[in-house]
Amino acid sequence: MTTMTRPPATPRTPAPGTLRTPHVRRRGPKRPSALLSKTGVTALLALATLYTLLPLTWLLLSSTKSRADLFGTNGFALGDETHLGQNLEHLFTTGDGVYLRWVLNTVLYAGVGALLAALLSVAAGYAFDKLAFPGKERLFSLVLLGVMVPATALAIPLYLLAAKAGLVNTFWGVFLPGLVFPFGVYLARVFSASYVPDEVLEAARMDGAGEFRAFRRVALPMLVPGFVTIFLFQFTQIWNSFFLPLVMLSDQDLYPVNLGLYVWYSSALSQGHPEDYLLAVVGSLVSVVPLIAVFLMLQRFWKSGMTAGAVK
């Protein structure tokens, strides 16, 4: 009896181009960390909001207190609303209304200065973006270098230059440095590249418009959101400026509001005038109001016109 044996099976070779790859198990999406989760982001935003609002809340509540209550009660305890009116009246009448003089000086320094600085920045940023001239990128590198230099580091050199020009303890010694805003030039170049199409400028030039007219009639209306943004940045920076006026001015009639409040606070601590401490608190609250008002009035310009200059 014979047994039949089968020959060993030969492995099949797959056809060319049909090689099978080993199955790779796919991993599911990684779960976000606790800080990046919705709850974590909400908690961080809540902390940032508290960090912003708590000082303003303390200023508002402290302004409703008398001098005795300011030092004898909790900082976040509500005072009498009648004290707020008395404190405001005392603020505006002290020193023959010197506080109003300081506010007016700050409006001139910050308002007019930021307006001219924004206009110069937009014009310079437009030129860096749309015009061709020798050494353009090297000059723009110097602008970026100016962005990285803190303003406090320039206060002493500016004082020495102002002393040579005879501008120390004058309005112009504080006003003129505010016209230079390197960060605004950088922002203006970014806005010009985004909002001003080259095709529109070429069409204006073909119609016979010069470079200045093309900028004034065509580009500048498209750059209104950038102009407002740069104005708000520089307005806030000049309004909060302290070190430059401190080294540049000695006449109290030329002080901005921040320097005047510092004088009152220093008088309360060093010279034993506790009433000046309450003046500094109420004056700090009033000095925040123009910043909030300007932001609320100009906020709509950030949203309107964001699509201006788009090529349809």
| pLDDT tens-digit map of 253-271 | 999 999 999 999 888 877 7
What does the pLDDT read at residue 308?
A: 45
Residue of 96, 97, 54, 85 whose CA lies nearest to 282: 85
**Residue 167: DSSP 8-state:** -
What does the pLDDT read at residue 113?
A: 96
Answer yes or no: is pLDDT of 29 > 70.
no
What does the pLDDT read at residue 1?
A: 45
Contact 248, 168 (CB under 8 A): yes
Q: What is the pLDDT of residues 40-93, one digit of tens each?
A: 888 888 999 888 888 888 888 888 888 888 777 887 887 777 788 888 998 999
pLDDT category of residue 297 using cuts at 50, 70 and 90: confident
Calculate the alpha carbon distances from 162 to 8, 154, 241, 249, 255 in Å.
101, 12, 17, 11, 17
Q: What is the pLDDT of residues 184-198, one digit of tens each?
A: 999 999 999 988 998
- Give the Cα separation of 112 and 178 in Å (integer): 10
Residue of 260, 267, 254 whose CA lies nearest to 170: 254
Domain extents in the chain = 94-270+280-303
Answer yes or no: is pLDDT of 100 > 70.
yes
What does the pLDDT read at residue 305?
A: 44
pLDDT category of residue 26 using cuts at 50, 70 and 90: low
- Give the Cα separation of 276 and 283 in Å (integer): 10
Tokens, residue 212: 């200045």
pLDDT category of residue 138 using cuts at 50, 70 and 90: very high
When the pLDDT of each residue in the chain is averaged and rounded to a whole number, the result is 84
The helix-helix angle for 257-270 and 98-106 (nearest 10°) equals: 140
Answer yes or no: is pLDDT of 312 > 50.
no
What does the pLDDT read at residue 17?
A: 52
Tokens, residue 150: 């803190």
- CATH code of the region 94-270+280-303: 1.10.3720.10
What does the pLDDT read at residue 275?
A: 75
Alpha-carbon Rg for the chain in angstroms: 31
Q: What is the pLDDT of residues 171-220, one digit of tens each?
A: 999 999 999 999 999 999 999 998 899 899 999 888 888 888 999 999 99
What does the pLDDT read at residue 105?
A: 96
Other beta carbons within 10 Å of 251: 9
What does the pLDDT read at residue 169?
A: 95
Contact 192, 226 (CB under 8 A): yes
Other beta carbons within 10 Å of 248: 22
The helix-helix angle for 224-239 and 274-303 (nearest 10°) equals: 170
